[in-house]
Amino acid sequence: MYQHGLLQLINYINIIIYMSKLLNCLKQKKSSGFPIWFMRQAGRHLPEFRNIRKKNKDFIKLCLNSNLSSKITLQPINRYNLDAAIIFSDILLVPYVLGQNVTFKKGKGPSLSKFNLKDFLSKNNKEFTTDLKPVYDAIKKTRQKLNKKKSLISFVGAPWTLLVYMIAAKNKKNKLNYKILKKFKNEIDLILERLIKFLCIHIEHQKRAGSDVIQIFDSWAGLIPSKYLERFCYEPNLKLVNFCKRKKIPVICFPKGIKNKYKGFVNTVKPDGISIDYDINPSWAKKNLNNVCIQGGLNPKLLVGTEKKMMKEINKYLRVFKYKPYIFNLGHGLLPETDPKRLERVIHEVNTFK
């Protein structure tokens, strides 16, 4: 009996000393306050990032420079009081090492060289992890420098979102190009399966290198017609989430743009955390997304608008989720024009909320 009590006490102390606020929240344990981090916190809104970027014109090469990538990851941590760092990398590194060239034209977003199924299928596991080794090295370096109480988040793109970029399945107006999808009709399932295999490998290596949470970005899930949502969104995410569960890696999903289908997603995929976008009403989310830790939601545009409106909206999320395990974040990535002073304001508001 006495020994049991002692073990419990040790466990409790362990949680207090070593457990990050974010991990605790993902386990759906409500503690005081909300953990906070921002999607795209490591990036263009920071002058210190833009300085490095100016000297490193090739974005993919920058992601694969472990010293610089670790340094960029820690930039927002050094500036702000955040609960998590997210490794500076990109979801498009996976298609890149699988044989497609990736370029970023200003204002146009990423563009990939023509997809070739034979090349895509020719890569073996060893080559894949060797090419991505700089990412794992960056994670190791970052973990060594990061306070134990702060989480280190790694991420992957969901198979559908990667496919959209790989076969250029959306047009400039962000609408699906059905002609292209039809052209790949007989190959899509094979491509998705193969991607799932590589994404599991990438997840496991990022975990082994020292990251403690995985986020799966399905940024283009909102483009999928309802009748295909199970096949192209729920199922691939479920396979990745089940892999994370087998490996005991806490996982957050972000199926952006699927509106009220968020409910079916959570009930089917059952991730530890669900990141909501700015189209989701927080009260609806609280009522309909059960047995999951909710993250995010605030429209990133509010951080470049009037301070009054921003504060009102922040407090709406804080009030709705007051008694819930909730991770404060945005409904999509920070806009590059966001003033760092605004982030400080948001963080202060969240951390002093009573």
Q: What is the DSSP letter of 111?
A: E
Residue 147, both tokens: 């306070």
Residue whose token pair is 């199926």:
255
Residue (4 or 337) nearer to ligand CP3, CB:
337
Closest contact distance (angstroms) between CB of 250 and ligand CP3 is 17
Residue (155 or 243) nearer to ligand CP3, CB:
155
- Which has the closest alpha carbon to 275: 291, 292, 296? 296
Is 236:159 a contact under the CB 8 Å cutoff?
yes
Which residues of 179-288 form beta strands (DSSP E)?
Answer: 213-218, 251-255, 273-276
Residue (20 or 89) nearer to ligand CP3, CB:
89
Told to check if 83 binds ligand CP3 by CB under 6 A, we report no
Q: How far apart are CA 52 and CA 63, in angstroms?
A: 12
311-350 binders of ligand CP3 (CB under 6 A):
333
Residue 254, amino acid: F
Which residues have CB under 8 Å from 87's CB, separation 6+? 69, 73, 135, 138, 139, 142, 152, 153, 154, 155, 206, 211
**Residues 91, 224, 292, 298: which binds ligand CP3 (CB under 6 A)?**
91
Per DSSP, what are the bridge partners of residue 103? 111
Distance from chain centroid for Cα 55: 26
**Residues 30, 53, 79, 263: which binds ligand CP3 (CB under 6 A)?**
53
Residue 267, both tokens: 């009930």
143 three-class SS: helix
138 three-class SS: helix
Q: How far apart are CA 276 and CA 39, in angstroms?
A: 12
Residue 286, both tokens: 């609280």
Told to check if 257 binds ligand CP3 by CB under 6 A, we report no
Under rule CB under 6 A, how many of the chain's residues touch ligand CP3? Answer: 20
Told to check if 273 binds ligand CP3 by CB under 6 A, we report no
216-235 binders of ligand CP3 (CB under 6 A):
217, 219
**Residues 26, 46, 82, 86: which binds ligand CP3 (CB under 6 A)?**
86
Residue (118 or 337) nearer to ligand CP3, CB:
337
160-219 binders of ligand CP3 (CB under 6 A):
217, 219
Site pattern 21..40 for ligand CP3 (x: CB under 6 A): ------------------xx
Told to check if 42 binds ligand CP3 by CB under 6 A, we report yes
**Residues 83, 90, 212, 272: which binds ligand CP3 (CB under 6 A)?**
90
Segment near ligand CP3 (CB under 6 A), from 2-10, 85-93, 120-128, 294-302?
Answer: 85-93
106-145 binders of ligand CP3 (CB under 6 A):
109-110
Segment near ligand CP3 (CB under 6 A), from 87-95, 173-181, 283-291, 305-313?
Answer: 87-95
- Which has the closest alpha carbon to 222: 299, 301, 278, 293? 278
- Where does this chain bind ligand CP3 (CB under 6 A)? 39-44, 53, 59, 86, 88, 90-92, 104, 109-110, 155, 217, 219, 333
